[in-house]
Amino acid sequence: MKESPDLIRLRGLAFFGFHGNNPAEAEFGQRFFVDLELRTDVCEAGKSDNLEHAVDYSAVYLKVRHWMEQERFHLLEALATRIAEGILEDFARVSSVVVEVRKPQAPLPGIFDEISVSVERCRQE
C-alpha cells in the first residue's frame, strides 16, 4: 500500500486508565490523552460519500478506548505501540499511523505540563 497524503486526525481523546510502573498508578489510575494521525487515501470515500469506502473513526475510537481502559501497560511506549499496531491490524485502509499518548499527571517531582510518548508505524508491503 503506497503512502497517502491524506490524513484523519483524532485529537484529545480522553480516557481513565491504570497504566504506569508505579504501584499507585495501578491502584488509583489517572486520566490519559491520545492523539492519532491515520494516513489513508480518502479519494474513494470523497467521491462516493459512503462509509464503506472510508476509515470508520468511530470504530477506531472504540478500539482505542478498549486498549486504554481494559488493558494494562507499565510503559507508555508499550501502550502507544499496542494502539499503533492494533490500528494497522484492524483497519486495512490505514497505511500508517502516528499515536501520541499523553500522561499529564505522571508521578515525577517538579512542575511540568505532561509526559508523552509518540510512535509511528507503517503497514508492511
Grouping H, G, I as helix, E, B as strand and the rest as coil, residue 110 is coil
Going by the DSSP 8-state scheme, the letter that residue 104 receives in this structure is T
∠ CA 108-109-113 to the nearest 5 degrees?
Answer: 65
Look up 63 and say whether it is catalytic.
no
Residues for the chain: how many in total? 125
In angstroms, the CA 125 to CA 2 distance is: 9
- Options 2, 47, 63, 103, the catalytic residue: 103
In angstroms, the CA 91 to CA 44 distance is: 16
Which phi and psi angles does 9 have, rounded to 5°?
-115, 135
Active site members: 103
